[in-house]
Amino acid sequence: MDKATVRDITVRGKRALERVDFNVPQDDSGAITDDTRIRASLPTIQYLLDHGASVVLMSHLGRPKGKVNPKYSLRPVAERLSELLGRPVALAPDCVGPQVEAMAQALKPGEALLLENLRFHPEEEANDPAFARQLAALGEVYVNDAFGTAHRAHASTEGVAHDLPAVAGLLMEKELTFLGSALEQPKRPFVAISGGAKVSDKIAALDRLIDLADALLIGGGMANTFFKAQGLDVGDSLVEDDKLDEARRLMRKAQRAGKRFILPVDVAVGDKFAADAERRLTTPDAVPAGWRILDVGPQTLQAFGEALSDAATIVWNGTLGVAEFPAFALGTNALVQMLVERTEAGAITIVGGGDSAAAVEAAGAADKLTHVSTGGGASLEFLEGRTLPGVAALLDRAQIPADLRTSGGEA
């Protein structure tokens, strides 16, 4: 990776303004139900603190729509982060303004401050230059470790990089390294697995993966559109009728390129879209009237397993069924175990965030795979080959100012 990272600059005595992704799930009481994203940010925060920097952290949480809403306060995050770091992390009353600036400037090396929710201000998502300058005033160097928001050109992800030297954090570096190497120089055979609800969300990624991968395995609701494009009646299953031509085009493209494009050969159907739906196994051409496809079946899993048996690189994005319903999470859970086995056999296994990552976490398999991305939307756009604004804004190593450059990675 050519982008500069925290290891490439001198941070001792500096105030580092760090964008993190603390958009964590919470229950109705506000308690954090999954702190994965907070834990994923710890290596960079700890690196900066250990190397003599003070750290001003900024993040969004939820969708407060540009207004202050206590429901979306980052206070629970500050408390959890303090526990994980083993040191106090104060929560600022806002993310900009004189009081916040005074708190940031008062930080000593080894101390951290968390700003209140960036999206309490509409200027954040509007990438307002004046707002970005207010944020930039809180630091001397900018570190972006929030891959999950790197596909958004917001004030905290792109705007501040115009006012401060900008480098990648360790998590951002890891994301770009694994995703980049998988697409640019994959060990082969390279197998891509694509699931999720809609073809429309994955068209650009599928187009690119047909070019890059040796085989594509298709599951989830999006498979239904391919079934219907082949003339099958899939009952009440989710189908994007306006994408049937695109589905046919993608299948033709894969065939012309000599790539395996593997659709489910059997499916699990339910009589309604609900966790307590009756579950039956059938084939895609024999879905009962009024029923809907909600998962893949065992024959499909066997076919997928055979396709993965010699894979050296595997990239997976999107669940194979309605994984939030236990009866229809069987295919997704079985796939997780296949990936664990392939990882143990030496394959590179990369999970592209979102629901796929949640399924891996739920299975307790995150540390058994090569890399589980923290950014669903960002990883998908990366797979599509798009430029991520939050990444493009970072300095290349050759652009590091002389007064910040470090020769051996020591700050």
Helical packing angle, 170-184 and 36-50, nearest 10°:
110
Sequence-ordered strand ranges (E) for 120-236: 141-144, 166-168, 190-194, 215-218
pLDDT band at residue 75 using 50, 70 and 90 as cut-offs: very high
| Mean pLDDT within 26-49 | 93
The residue assigned the tokens 């999954």 is 34
Q: Give residue 36's pLDDT.
A: 87
User: DSSP state, 284?
Assistant: T
Q: 396: which residues sit within 8 A by CB, 6+ positions away?
A: 2, 3, 4
> Which residues on neighbouring strands pair with residue 25, listed in sequence order?
none
Catalytic residue among 52, 377, 386, 397: 377
Question: pLDDT tens, 263-316?
Answer: 999 999 999 999 999 999 999 999 999 999 999 999 999 999 999 999 999 999
Predicted confidence (pLDDT) at residue 409 exceeds the cutoff of 60: no
211-228 burial, b at 16+ Cβ within 10 Å, e below that, comes to ebbbbbbbbbbbbbbbbb
The whole-angstrom separation of Cα 316 and Cα 340 is 12
Pick the closest to residue 141 from 160, 118, 115 (CA basis): 160
Determine if the peptide bond prior to 189 is cis (ω within 30°): yes
Where in the chain are the domains? 6-173+389-399, 188-346
Q: Is the dihedral of CA 361, 362, 368, 369 positive or negative?
A: negative
Total residues found in the chain within this entry? 411
pLDDT band at residue 384 using 50, 70 and 90 as cut-offs: confident
| Mean pLDDT within 25-35 | 90
Q: Give residue 411's pLDDT.
A: 45
Catalytic residue among 198, 249, 253, 260: 198
CATH superfamily of 6-173+389-399: Phosphoglycerate kinase, N-terminal domain (3.40.50.1260)
Question: pLDDT tens, 200-219?
Answer: 888 989 999 999 999 999 99
Instruction: Provide the 3-class DSSP secondary structure of residue 255.
Output: helix
375-411 burial, b at 16+ Cβ within 10 Å, e below that, comes to bbbbbbbbbbeeebbbbebbbeeeebeeebebeeeeb
Sequence-ordered strand ranges (E) for 224-320: 260-262, 267-270, 279-282, 292-296, 313-317
pLDDT band at residue 407 using 50, 70 and 90 as cut-offs: low
Secondary structure element (H or E) that encloses residue 56, with its range: strand 54-58
Report the mean per-residue pLDDT for the chain.
94
Catalytic residue among 3, 14, 15, 37: 37
The residue assigned the tokens 């290349």 is 396
> Which residues on neighbouring strands pair with residue 293, listed in sequence order?
269
Contact criterion met (CB below 8 Å) for 73 and 95: no
Q: Give residue 49's pLDDT.
A: 98
**Kind of pairing, strands 267-270 and 292-296?**
antiparallel
User: DSSP state, 107?
Assistant: P
**272 counts as catalytic:** no
pTM of the model: 0.87
**354 counts as catalytic:** yes
**Fold match flag (6-173+389-399 vs 188-346):** yes
Predicted confidence (pLDDT) at residue 342 exceeds the cutoff of 50: yes
| Helix, strand and coil percent figures for the chain, each rounded to 5 | 40, 15, 45
**198 counts as catalytic:** yes
- CATH architecture assignment, domain 188-346: 3-Layer(aba) Sandwich (3.40)
CA dist list (Å): 7 to 41, 43, 352:
15, 12, 25
Residue 261: both structure tokens together:
């494009």
Contact criterion met (CB below 8 Å) for 356 and 369: no
**71 counts as catalytic:** no
Predicted confidence (pLDDT) at residue 35 exceeds the cutoff of 70: yes
Catalytic residue among 169, 354, 375, 376: 354
